[in-house]
Amino acid sequence: MKNTPKLGFIERLSKIYNLIGIFLIFVAFCIVAITFYPQIWYSINKQASQQELQSLTTIIPIDTTEQENNNTVSTLPPLDPSLSATNTIIITSIGVNSSIIENANAEEALKKGIWRATDWGNPEEKIAKLPTIIAAHRFGYIYWSAEFRKTSSFFYLPKTKVGDTVQIIWNQRFYEYVIYKSEDNSQVTDYDADLILYTCRMYNSPIRVFRYLHRIN
């Protein structure tokens, strides 16, 4: 009889530990599911990559005849031979650090990572006063590794916020930009930006995640 309270306490403690264990297993499962979600989804839906590609490469521009970029930073940054000769984009807040693919074939470029729309501006030259536009898959392809998906896709672009900075190394010159506007839309709405980043919100939706940036260096 003297051991009954002790046994009851042990049973209650055991139940608590069991509940904690089940909760930790559930959390671990969620983390693994998030990590491998793109691979799982692409295994189920073989058309997902193509749907995302079509959404990414279709931009419906608005009338730009009255648009003019009012950027106040007009001089080029100094040439720095110590910088990489590979054009690179860095978004520290979300772990992106990747080369920028230059290819008129958007489909082929996006398979390799982050792509600059070649008929728009670049950091050195604005074509028809239009900004540089850089896009990437959000979910990518099933054969992408988790590390490549983190550094060379825009999976976490929706997590960026106004005030975050983006760096671009272009022809061994260092450019820095700051996000001043974020929105979900089906088209570019602000041509006053120096740089526009975008990706898909979902696989087969026309809605895209846009980030508009001004150059600060």
135 and 210 housed in the same domain? yes
Q: pLDDT per position in the chain (217 positions), as tens?
A: 555 665 666 777 777 777 787 777 766 655 544 444 554 444 444 454 455 555 555 565 555 544 555 555 678 999 999 999 999 999 999 999 999 999 999 989 999 999 999 989 999 986 667 899 999 999 888 889 999 999 999 999 999 999 999 999 999 999 999 999 999 998 899 989 999 999 988 766 788 999 999 999 9
40 and 53 housed in the same domain? no
123 and 171 housed in the same domain? yes
The residue segments making up the domain with residue 18 are 1-44
31 and 66 housed in the same domain? no
40 and 62 housed in the same domain? no
160 and 188 housed in the same domain? yes
Question: How many domains does the chain contain in total?
Answer: 2
SS3 for the chain is CCCHHHHHHHHHHHHHHHHHHHHHHHHHHHHHHHHHHHHHHHHHCCCHHHHHHHHHCCCCCCCCCCCCCCCCCCCCCCECCCCCCCCEEEEHHHCEEEEEEECCCHHHHHHHCEEECCCCEECCECHHHCCEEEECCCCCCCCCCHHHHHHHCCCCHHHCCCCCEEEEEECCEEEEEEEEEEEEECCCCCCCCCEEEEEECCCCCCCEEEEEEEECC
CATH number for the domain including 112? Answer: 2.40.260.10
23 and 102 housed in the same domain? no
18 and 104 housed in the same domain? no
199 and 100 housed in the same domain? yes
